[in-house]
Amino acid sequence: MGVGLLVGREGHDSYSCLYGGQALGLYGGAGILINKGGNNTYQLGGLQPDFRDPEKSTVSVGQGFGYGLRTEGDKMGVPGGIGVLIDEKGNGNFHRRLFCPRGSLLLWSWHPR
């Protein structure tokens, strides 16, 4: 169990992550990104091709996403964590592919927008 917390203050911030970040809550943990204001850019994905459309899409996993593991065969699943992304003021530009934002896999995540 753990908590990852990133708090950005006023200003024009840029967040960039190839895979698995920007408010990603893993099994039993929480990922929280809070930005207080400004015209911010959130870029997520680009590393791992998605099997559904590998030429055009990548898996992102983040931006307020709670991630768990599905039950497969005789292996038990694991509940996901909690992902919270709050962009309070200004204009947020979100660039992502799959499994984000405001999503969850086997639990929940919250994004107030």
Three-class secondary structure of residue 73 per DSSP? coil
Report pLDDT for 100. Answer: 57
Three-class secondary structure of residue 78 per DSSP? strand
| Full pLDDT tens readout for the chain, 113 residues | 678 888 888 888 888 888 888 888 888 888 888 888 888 888 888 888 888 888 888 888 888 888 877 777 888 878 778 888 888 888 877 776 665 555 555 544 444 55
Tokens of 109: 């995540």
The CA-based angle 74-80-85, given to 5 degrees, is 160
Report pLDDT for 109. Answer: 42
| Residues 90/37, Cβ–Cβ less than 8 Å | yes
| Residues 45/94, Cβ–Cβ less than 8 Å | no
CA–CA separation, 24 and 109 (whole Å):
9
Closest listed residue to residue 53, CA positions, set 100, 103, 98: 98
What's the farthest any 2 CA atoms get from each other in the chain?
A: 49
Tokens of 22: 């920007």
